[in-house]
Chains A and B, each alone.
Chain A
Amino acid sequence: MIKDQSIPQAIALTLAQAIVLLAVSPAIVGLIKKVKARFQCRQGAGILQPYADLKKLFRKQPVVSTTTSWIFTATPYIVFASTVTAGLLVPIFVSQMPLNFAGNIIAFVYLLALGTFFLILAGLDAGSPFGGMGSSREAIVASLTEPAMIMAIFAIALTAGSTNLSTIVHRTALLEGIVTDPSPHLMALAAVFIVALAETGRVPVDNPATHLELTMIHEAMVLEYSGRYLALLEWASAIKLLVFLTLIANVFAPWGIATSFTPMALSIGLAVYLVKVAGLGLLIGTIECMFAKLRLFRITDLLGVAFILALLGLLFFYILRS
């Protein structure tokens, strides 16, 4: 696909994608918090509050524990880098990404795993029991989401005939060569949605607003961070959430995305994208208010359901043919 575009155009598109990721992600986090606040019958902070939080955190002086090593201060950069790189592989407002050749969904999943690995190490680095606890719990949750994600990916890849994200989105948007039976796609969508909730640390898997020892997973790993390191990690987690929402929106319902490079198509693509992720953010906020966080050992039940859903999607693809 890179042959269809010139190098400057490709670089411009990639940069634009990175800017959208960086700029929109705090707003999505703010939107979810606002939705939760309104459900709880209070005003809540503004949607743009996370931007102010980030700005504040960048300026603050970071405090680093004497027990830690260089892993601790390097991890925020590595997590940020791997999350943004994974985000560059997912089509956002253009269906034909210049970086399509660089990686497919498997590369996407493992890039995010790179961030998880270093975050687990950082949790252990400070030597506090909270960090170790968070790392241990994150390890088991990550272990159970991977098989479900891979099976769901396979089901999607079968219906679209490719594992490259741009190719899937482009083909689905143009409805070319797609098997039109909706059942496999729906099963895969349900599975990917549950996996997205688990990976981004949302209720019912993990509560992003808690700092109680009993309940935190992601928050426990970043507990010792402050200042610019915490800012990078918060931003990275917001970008991860946005990337998963983008994945769900654009792989399963990509209509509206720009399939050509005219300015009109690009602006429509961007507008439709913002509407879609805002809608998904609203949905997640609602789900967070409807359900309680599950006990750690009940999360296995939920992720088992996700795996079975993905497996069913695969079975339905092979069996249900007209």
Chain B
Amino acid sequence: MAIPLFLILVGYAAGVLLPLCFPARPRIQNLIAHGLAAVATMGGIYLGMVGLLAPDPLAMSVSSTLPLLTFAVRLDALSSFFLLMISLVGLAASIYAVGYVTEWYGRISIGLLGSLYNAFLLSMTLVVLADNGFFFLIAWELMSLFSYFLVVTEHEKSDVRYAGLFYLIMTHIGTAFIILTFLLLFQGSGSFSFDAFRDPGHPLPDNMRTMAFVLALIGFGTKAGIVPLHVWLPYAHPAAPSHISALMSGVMIKTAIYALLRVYFDFFGGHFPWWWGFVVLLIGAVSALLGVMYALMEHDLKSLLAYHSVENIGIILLGIGAGMIFHSYDLDELAALGLIAGLYHTINHAVFKALLFFGAGSLLYATHTRNMEEYGGLLRRMPWTGGCFLIGAVSIAALPPTNGFVSEWLVFQSLFLSYQMPSLLMKFMLPLAAAMLALTGVLALTCFAKAFGISFLALPRSSHARHAEEVPWPMRVGMGVLSAVCIALGLAPMLVIPFLDHVSTSLIGRSIADKMLALDGWALAPVNVEFSSLSSPVLGFLLVATVALGLALVVCYGGTSPRRYSKTWACGLNLTSRMEYSATGFVQPIKRVFSTIYQPTVKLETEFLEESRYFAKRRRFEFHIEPLFQTYFYDPLIAFVSGLADRMRIVQAGSLHLYLAYIFVTLVVLLMVAL
């Protein structure tokens, strides 16, 4: 393990330093930075596979001169899984970025961008490998800092700066909570190494454990983007360059999931009361539903994708929460199922979210705008981008035969199997969570039908869209690789399940791989083949066969006349892009039906012709959605903190004498106390 790890670290380090050595040669900087990142990520994939196949965890450590800090790394099943995910998406992003950053040649320093990119990937790798509390915190902080610098790449724009600042503040609030969690764990174990956290010398009393649970949830939840801590996501992810958004949304928020699993299952040994899992489940359900509802109302394609990340984190937490609940009732087979469902969705989301962000980046590259209302008709001009985006959209809408469908199916199964539980409350709540998941799934389908339909179909709505060109080949290859992985993960879940089972076994101690697969692996049969089964490859085959059947019927019934082309009927007028449905119009019924949550305000101003009030010269339509969390949660909180700070300002009067007096009084008091 040492050699591959060393090579990976060297690769990233070279990727950090070398691009800075070639100033004013952007092409070389681009190729070196992303080439080295690609090599290092391939090493990461190899190391991840090694770790998943190894029966025991591999560990290594290097001590440092500072107390409590050792550079300890540990590659166990959980770390390997996340390392594999980071490296896979990182590889695709590196290939994609080769083409994407050409847009910025001459405008910003590509060397700095590439260097920060490698540093970001390196810090994420270290986060999942760290085996020491301090080391973890250092890696986490580096990850946050480097991602901040990457978010403010286009710092000349004020909204980008605002987004970056917002992100920095939120992530540091989260880090503060994480530090508190680790301090609590340190209390119980006396050392910062993760091994000590696992077997604490003095186990914490129950109220301390509860506090650690809450602190960890808030701290890591801020990074993950659970409601109500998600507010930074829709600002930061769109502001960053698209390959960085893909990494942030697909991989960085998953490191929080890694950390939560590590803390709850590894450090607490899986001994927790039922209500912990219930809280996680509830947060997951609410995040999923609210995430997708706000995503529906977005017209900035990247904000839409950012809100969908909130939704998918919610779905992952649904699976993990169900797993935690089952585990606290000692129903370990079901717990393993819940965890496997959550983990499968983690990697699926990483892959298809990165794919969708690449697509959004390609659209941005081609049209120089992020507003969906200015797209249109791009499927003909950018067929490759459109095809890959379609695969990503079908995956995130959880439709067969893609990977999103398999993982959402598994989450449903784990929620449905709740009828075996002894608690009546759980037997009601888990099916309700399943109903919320169903609503989320179909709203996500709507949202991506809108996103794909408005962006790629019908007529172009602006001159940007009319002159769009297909993107350079590295971007196409990056998207293509991820599309292929999406389909592969969807059609061959039986190859993935054993690895996920290895991870969940390391967390819970119960392996259900033999119970998950039926019929020599052709079907997924969670826990009980009589209860439910799914065969993804057979469904895929059936879909293809029935398409062939359709074609056969068409030929059989004489439907072979060639198509005739004509214009769409627009009531006698020439069809223009103004006649198409817009994104705002598409979601209007949903806005009305769910108006309790959106609380929309609509403003319509009309300017009539002077001659007659029956004819309008110009209309202006504005509609706003009430940002519930900002108004009811953050604004009062910020007002309170500001008020407190205002009152404390009295202390800083500006007078030199007063400050000297403070120092003098403090010194005297301390001297007296020391007596």
Chain B binds chain A: yes
Q: Which A residues lie at the B interface, using CB under 8 A?
A: 2, 18, 22, 54-55, 58-71, 73, 76-78, 80-82, 84-85, 88, 99-104, 106-107, 110-111, 113-114, 116-117, 120-121, 124-129, 131-133, 135-137, 139-140, 142-144, 146-147, 149-151, 154, 157-158, 161-164, 167, 224, 227-228, 231-232, 296-297, 300, 307, 311, 314-315, 318
Q: Is B519 an interface residue (CB 8 A)?
A: yes
Contact partners of A22 in chain B: CB under 8 A: 553
Query: Which range holds the interface residue count of chain B?
Result: 35 or more
Contact partners of B467 in chain A: CB under 8 A: none
Q: Smallest CB-CB separation from B457: which chain A residue?
A: A125
Known: A59-B557, A65-B565, A113-B445. A103 touches B546 (CB 8 A): no
Q: Is the CB of B518 within 8 A of A101?
A: yes
The 8 closest A-B pairs by CB, nearest first: A132-B581, A228-B559, A127-B458, A124-B453, A58-B557, A81-B546, A150-B438, A140-B589
Q: Is B160 an interface residue (CB 8 A)?
A: no
A84 to B11, CA, bound (A): 52
Which one of A67, A78, A113, A315 has the greatest number of beta carbons of chain B within 10 Å? A67
CB distance from B555 to the nearest CB of A (A): 10
Q: Is the CB of B550 within 8 A of A81?
A: yes
Could you show 6 A-B contacts with beta carbons less than 8 Å apart?
A63-B564, A81-B543, A85-B542, A101-B519, A142-B446, A231-B554
Q: Is B67 an interface residue (CB 8 A)?
A: no
CB distance from A235 to the nearest CB of B (A): 8
Q: Is the CB of A147 within 8 A of B449?
A: no
Q: Which of B13-21, B215-223, B394-402 contacts A (4 or more CB under 8 A)?
A: B394-402
CB distance from A129 to the nearest CB of B (A): 6
Q: Which of B35-43, B265-273, B427-435, B476-484 contacts A (4 or more CB under 8 A)?
A: B427-435
Q: Is the CB of B581 within 8 A of A106?
A: no
Q: Is the CB of A69 within 8 A of B550?
A: no
Q: Is the CB of A111 within 8 A of B568?
A: no
Q: Is B419 an interface residue (CB 8 A)?
A: yes
A22 to B553, CA, bound (A): 10
Contact partners of B585 in chain A: CB under 8 A: 132, 136
Q: Is the CB of B559 within 8 A of A66?
A: no
Q: Smallest CB-CB separation from A131: which chain B residue?
A: B581
Which one of B450, B458, B519 has the greatest number of beta carbons of chain A within 10 Å? B458
Q: Is the CB of B519 within 8 A of A142?
A: no
Q: Is B454 an interface residue (CB 8 A)?
A: yes
Q: Is the CB of A232 within 8 A of B577?
A: no
B539-573 interface code vs A (CB 8 A; 1 in, 0 out): 10011101101110110011101111111111000
Contact partners of B437 in chain A: CB under 8 A: 150
Q: Is the CB of A82 within 8 A of B458?
A: no
Tell me which of A85, A140, A314 contacts B539 (CB under 8 A): A85
Contact partners of A85 in chain B: CB under 8 A: 539, 542-543, 546
Contact partners of A84 in chain B: CB under 8 A: 546, 549
A67 to B550, CA, bound (A): 25
Q: Is the CB of A67 within 8 A of B459?
A: yes
CB distance from A160 to the nearest CB of B (A): 10
A129 to B577, CA, bound (A): 10
CB distance from A109 to the nearest CB of B (A): 8
Q: Is B599 an interface residue (CB 8 A)?
A: no
Q: Is the CB of B458 within 8 A of A143?
A: no
Q: Is B533 an interface residue (CB 8 A)?
A: yes
Contact partners of B400 in chain A: CB under 8 A: 107, 110-111, 114
A66 to B547, CA, bound (A): 24
A71 to B383, CA, bound (A): 11
A118 to B645, CA, bound (A): 55
Contact partners of A154 in chain B: CB under 8 A: 416, 431, 434
Q: Is B436 an interface residue (CB 8 A)?
A: yes
New A-B contacts (6) at CB < 8 Å, excluding given A139-B449, A228-B554, A296-B589: A117-B397, A120-B453, A143-B439, A146-B442, A224-B568, A231-B554
Q: Smallest CB-CB separation from A104: which chain B residue?
A: B532
Q: Is the CB of A318 within 8 A of B539?
A: no
Contact partners of A104 in chain B: CB under 8 A: 532-534
Contact partners of B562 in chain A: CB under 8 A: 61
Q: Is the CB of B579 within 8 A of A129?
A: yes
